[in-house]
Amino acid sequence: MRRILLALATGAVGVAIACATSTKEPFADGPDATDDSNTTKPDGQIFNGDSSQNEGMACATGTYEAKQAPAAMLVLLQRSGSMATGNKYAFAAQAIVSALDQNAFDNMTLGLLAAPSANPIKGPACLANLPVGCGVSPFPNVDLINSLQLKSSDPTGVRHSIKQYLNTNVPDMSAGDGNPLYDAINLGIGALKGWNGKGKRILFVVTDGGISCTSLSNRTANAFTDGNGCNDWENPNAIMGIVKSANTDLSTPVDTFIVGVPGSDTYDPSGQMYPPYHMRAALSDIAAAGSPANIPMGCTSSATFHPTKNGDVVDPDPVKSCHFDMTQNNYSSQAVADAIAAIRGKVLGCIFDVPQPDGGTVDPARVNVDYQAGVGPDIQLYKRKDSSNACTNDGCWDYTVDGKIQLLGKACDDLKANLNSKVNIAVGCDTIVK
């Protein structure tokens, strides 16, 4: 029995290479099939060869430890003055640190961007050029770096740096309550696109709404007037445009997720204190544009945001939000931490590499998959015969176009819902297909 242990978003993932029961070799040109001695390879892989117990069978033996699939996540945290109220900033900071300390984020590239930046900038003429909290740093406050297995309590590492930044940088109370979310998201997307890895790119945004600072941009013609006569409230369509473009980029796509903390449920038709549109609807639409494949089924979204029409509200508060809406008496540090973990599972939790022996290849017709969701029983999956089968009720698996193993339907849903799940990929016996 060959056992390959993988760490994945949903927890530990075991990959088993089982004995073949026919004369068809499980690997092509693989040295493992004839290796019947206990040896340690140069790369640290340990082979526990014992061909005697499987004499007459084509069976590869050994133990591997595989790396987590590459991915990069940049956390964008709003640090405007409004985030200082109601423990919003404190809860979010605690959640970010505790969530990223989970083993599921080991060996993942992580970073942090906070906006507005620490230094106020010169305001628009409609505000007499007084300093405003609309600045955004040209680079992430904590650069995107591989987390390895270093936690926030360790003396070094990116998770330690994120915790230190959040511990020493409180919300910006110095120059009004600016929230330059457009510029911050645009910068975050640029930083993720600049990451030189080949895995998924994730932008995780935590905001309490009130998107402003548009009067300092070239987007004022489509912005909304605030109580000072400035076209300062952001048109949500502008942000929907940049996140949609980033998500559909064929070379370096970015998935953008939104968490709306208390305060992101405003509606002020006058535009005096808050934007003159339903903020929950705006964030729901932005989330749907930023990662349409990962929004909740049946959530309320629109391809184009319509704040008002002839004085009537066109986009009211959603019945079911497409973003993580924490304005309904459900906000806590644990809720944000769960959202971060859920995103990791949604984007990366159902696709696995096929294990490969040194110098050999796996016969794709001799692969089987089973999984365990949390503390539940082991469930044997079948490879679907018909690509139109969504496996909604029982779960199944199939190969992706690039030859990876993808769990589908109920099996994928179970993995996303359980952080402590395990997947076994057995190579060497004829694939179960139906």
Most confident residue range from 121-125, 155-159, 198-202, 361-365: 155-159
DSSP letter for each residue of 163-221: HHHHHH---B-SS-----HHHHHHHHHHHHHT---SSEEEEEEEE-S----GGGSS-GG
Residue 341 lies in a domain: yes
**Based on the domain organization, do 62 and 200 belong to the same domain?**
no
Which residue do the tokens 């942090």 mark? 112
Question: pTM for this structure?
Answer: 0.76
- Indicate if 172 and 231 belong to the same structural domain: yes
Domain endpoint, select from 329, 348, 367: 348
Judge whether residue 314 has pLDDT over 70. yes
Structural domain contains residue 247? yes
Q: How far apart are CA 83 and CA 90, in angstroms?
A: 9
Lookup: tokens for 133: 């909290």
**Alpha helices of 40-157 — where are they, by DSSP H?**
88-100
Verify that 360 and 342 share a domain, yes or no.
no
Same domain, 101 and 210: yes
Share of the chain above pLDDT 70, in %: 82
* 23 and 94 within one domain: no
Residues 343 and 358 reside in one and the same domain: no
CATH number at residue 244: 3.40.50.410
> Are residues 173 and 212 both part of a single domain?
yes
279 and 333 together in one domain: yes
Q: What pLDDT does 176 receive?
A: 73
Single out the residue in 348, 364, 387 at which a domain terminates. 348
Q: Is residue 433 part of a domain?
A: no
Position 76 scores a pLDDT of 98
Compute φ and ψ for 417, nearest 5 degrees: -85, -10
pLDDT digits (tens, 9 = 90+) for 169-204: 988 777 678 999 999 999 999 999 999 988 899 999
| Residue 432 falls inside a structural domain | no
Task: Please report whether residue 175 resides in a domain.
Answer: yes
User: Both 414 and 337 in a single domain?
Assistant: no
| pLDDT at site 69 | 61
Tokens of 416: 């996303």
Q: Is 30 inside any structural domain?
A: yes
Same domain, 239 and 112: yes
**Which tokens go with 35?**
């290796």
Could you tell me if 205 and 335 lie in one domain? yes
358 — pLDDT class (breaks 50, 70, 90): low
The number of folded domains in the chain is: 2
**Domain-terminating residue out of 330, 348, 366:** 348
**Maximum Cα interatomic distance, the chain, rounded to a whole number of Å:** 87
> Higher pLDDT residue, 308 or 203?
203
Given this model, what pLDDT does residue 55 score? 34
Within a domain: residue 196? yes
The rounded distance, in Å, linking the Cα atoms of 101 and 92 is: 14
Supply the range of the domain harboring residue 253: 71-348
For residues 211 and 222, give the distance between their C-alpha atoms in angstroms, rounded to a whole number.
14
pLDDT, tens digit, 9 for 90 and up, residues 79-134: 999 999 888 999 999 999 999 998 778 889 999 999 998 788 999 888 889 889 99
The answer as to whether 403 is a domain residue is no
pLDDT of residue 309: 79
Same structural domain, 344 and 391: no
pLDDT of residue 72: 96
Distance CA 221, CA 239 (A): 15
Number of alpha carbons in the 13 Å side-chain half-sphere of residue 409: 17
Six token digits for residue 184:
């911050």
